[in-house]
A and B are shown apart, each in its own frame.
Chain A
Amino acid sequence: QVPLQESGPGLVKPSETLSLTCTVSGGSISSRYWSWIRQPPGKGLEWIGYIYYTGKTNYSPSLRSRVTMSVDTSKNQFSLKLTSVTAADTAVYYCARIGGTGYIDLWGRGTLVTVSS
């Protein structure tokens, strides 16, 4: 059982919306913060934002106008939507758990999302 598992389309057309879901296994999504991070091919890590199980969010200023995160406690899942994507949004997208004191302590395996027509 994989503790964190990303799912969603691997290919998205330019100008459309990227949608990913992270399923949390082996523990409750409650009382935790959860995060999305991305990594363009061959490049470094970029923090997208985080969501608390209550739905409270905090997004990176550089993506704030296009990002929405949500949480479904009944399914133990949280989600990412990124609108108006371009080729620059092509990346491996990771979901992650934030430890009680703020650092990321567990990562999903990541899923590659390619933006291309």
Chain B
Amino acid sequence: DIVMTQSPDSLAVSLGERATINCKSSQSVLYSSNNKSYLAWYQQKAGQPPKLLIYWASTRESGVPDRFNGSGSGTDFTLTISSLQAEDVAVYYCLQYYTNPRTFGQGTKLEIK
């Protein structure tokens, strides 16, 4: 199985500041034939199901604010929130869909400082 490791486990950032969450896979999730990394990011607010933010490592889902950006390729990925808003308080998960079984990172809890 591909192990997905997120860092940090929790993060406190001031409103308006940048938040950065990392995700590392134990093996590459880059498919060489299309040069796409099979990595998605999800946001889960308390009491709600996860919501898709980013797929293909850097493609923003329709309707997601442009302060959310995904980057990286191969085994190392980053989710950046450029200017933290109060409504961004949540747990964030990465998911690799390169192979079965699909595997999630353990989650990063983002709070307001």
A in complex with B:
yes
Interface flags for B32-71 (1: CB within 8 Å of A; 0: not) read 0000001010100000111110011000010000000000
What bracket does the count of chain A residues touching chain B fall in? 20 to 34
**Which residues of A30-66 have CB atoms within 8 Å of chain B's CB atoms?**
35, 44-47, 49, 58, 60-62
What bracket does the count of chain B residues touching chain A fall in? 20 to 34
B104 contacts the other chain (CB 8 A)? yes
A94 touches B40 (CB 8 A): no
Q: How far is the CA of A109 from the CA of B61 in the complex (A)?
A: 19
A45 CB contact (under 8 Å) in B51, B55, B101, B104: B104
Interchain Cβ contacts within 8 Å, total number: 53
Looking at the assembled complex, report how far the CB atom of B88 sits from the nearest CB atom of chain A, in whole angstroms: 19
A105 touches B52 (CB 8 A): yes
Q: Is the contact region of chain B dominated by helix, strand, or loop, or is it mixed?
A: loop
- Chain B residues within 8 Å of A, Cβ to Cβ: 1, 38, 40, 42, 48-52, 55-56, 61, 93, 95, 97, 100-107
B38 touches A102 (CB 8 A): yes
- On chain B, the residues within 8 Å of A99 by CB distance are 55
A104 contacts the other chain (CB 8 A)? yes
Q: Is the contact region of chain A dominated by helix, strand, or loop, or is it mixed?
A: loop
The closest CB in chain B to the CB of A35 belongs to B102
B103 touches A107 (CB 8 A): no
Q: How far is the CA of A99 from the CA of B62 in the complex (A)?
A: 13
Q: How far is the CA of A42 from the CA of B25 in the complex (A)?
A: 23
A47 touches B50 (CB 8 A): no
- On chain A, the residues within 8 Å of B38 by CB distance are 102-103
A1 contacts the other chain (CB 8 A)? no
Q: A44-B104, A47-B101, A104-B97 are in contact. List 12 more A-B contacts (CB 8 A).
A: A35-B102, A44-B106, A45-B93, A45-B95, A45-B104, A47-B102, A99-B55, A101-B55, A104-B40, A104-B50, A106-B52, A107-B50
